Chain A
């Protein structure tokens, strides 16, 4: 159950994520070549403003996109109505945002 504003937020966040997912898929294919280790990941990301912005933007867009997507599922399958739906969307969105921000800080600071 979405109106034009939530629709816009979801499509815009999707468009923002297009280059980010491309990058993410490429990094994944590259990074796992010799196995993963904490040191290897952190040596790439720590102290990098670029990766901080890249993943920061990614987290914000993903939080918006996923919370609206789950809102639609919650309405269509669980029949959750308007007020609770807004509450749920906000809760899921801020949950993703907090967990995601913590992850970005952990790997870039």
Chain B
């Protein structure tokens, strides 16, 4: 009985949708102060902001940016799903909506990526 990465009772699509929403939310909350700090550089260190933007051109940082866009997209569309679940009449198609939210997030991230290269 080895330890499983995801416990058996959690192995269903809507739990995965939940953990994706939780982790993307945590990721965004960690990123947000950095984002604010960098934009704040424009206040009295415009050269610093440019240096940062220049640095963010390198491929590794660019790759991380797609991750951030995906976090925002997946939290946004997953959040729309939750608002619909809580405030609209119940729909039995919960798994379909969860899959749709993830698929749309991939689509948006790809659009961002295509524009960036």
Show the binding face of A for B, using Cβ within 8 Å. Answer: 11, 14-15, 18, 21, 24-25, 28-30, 32-33, 35-39, 41-42, 59, 62, 66, 69-70, 73, 95-96, 99-100, 102-103, 105-107
Contact = CB atoms under 8 A, between A and B. Distances in A.
What's the dominant secondary structure at chain B's contact region? helix
Nearest to A40: B53
B36 A103 contact: yes
B112 A99 contact: no
Given A36-B56, A69-B29, A103-B39, A21 B72 contact: yes
Interface string B64-75: 000001001100
Interface of B: 22, 25-26, 28-29, 32-33, 35-37, 39-43, 46, 49-50, 53, 56-57, 69, 72-73, 76, 79-80, 83, 86-87, 108, 111-112, 115-116
B43 A106 contact: yes
